[in-house]
Amino acid sequence: MERFMPLWGQHLTALTSKFAPVLLLSLATLPLLAQQTTAPELYRDADAYAVYSLVLPQEEGWQGQRLVIRETTGTDPNLLPLQKCIPLPDGSKQELQPLYDNFEQANRQSKTLLPMLTIAKPYDLVPESRVYVADVTGDADKAWEVQHPGAFGYLWVSAVGFNSDRTLALVSVSHVCGNMCAGGHYYLLRKQNGKWQSAEFRGGQCQWVS
């Protein structure tokens, strides 16, 4: 007895045969496309590295002889919202709001840092998957000392926000220095005579520590 395929099945078979190579090619390229869309962009902003080079030495209080910095930028979830830490003083909204907006925009996606810092201490840029993890046994501390001799924990930084004429900069810097040892805060800077300097605004700059 001859068996017949329903009409919709015949159409489906024909379409499958016709488009199978295209489908297989599309499936094969999915991992590559995912890598292209998820890999953080390289951070090449010279002003950003000038800002990092100014603020990182100010973390001297707990640093070792070598700095380990997380390779990808990111904001610190433990910090209070930006405008609570550095509120807009009366008359400064026009000056600071574009800076705040740019900071938030710059940090919507992570960026990959490059070895463009000009600081006195040697430093290592470490992928997020390999950053230091403290534990109560001290084993992680020992392994970290072997991999990064002279380092004490690690830092991570946000991308830098700028105002439109790049005379103001905003960045957050955070650190992990052991079990129940961490902290972070914002830096607000102003460029004067071509050099970045700390800027003071009424309202202060909040921080957290543990």
Round the average pLDDT of the chain to a whole number and report it: 78
For residue 155, what are its two tokens? 């830092």
pLDDT given for residue 146 in this prediction: 85
Instruction: Among 13-22, 80-89, 177-186, 196-205, name the one with the lowest average pLDDT.
Output: 13-22
pLDDT per position as a tens digit, 188-202: 999 999 999 988 754
For residue 12, what are its two tokens? 């489906």
pLDDT per position as a tens digit, 116-142: 999 999 999 999 888 866 555 566 667
The 3-class SS string of 98-161 reads: HHHHHHHHHCCCCEECCCCCCCCCCEEEECHHHCCCCCCCCHHHHHHHHHCCCECCEEEECCCE
Residue ranges per structural domain of the chain: 1-39, 41-209
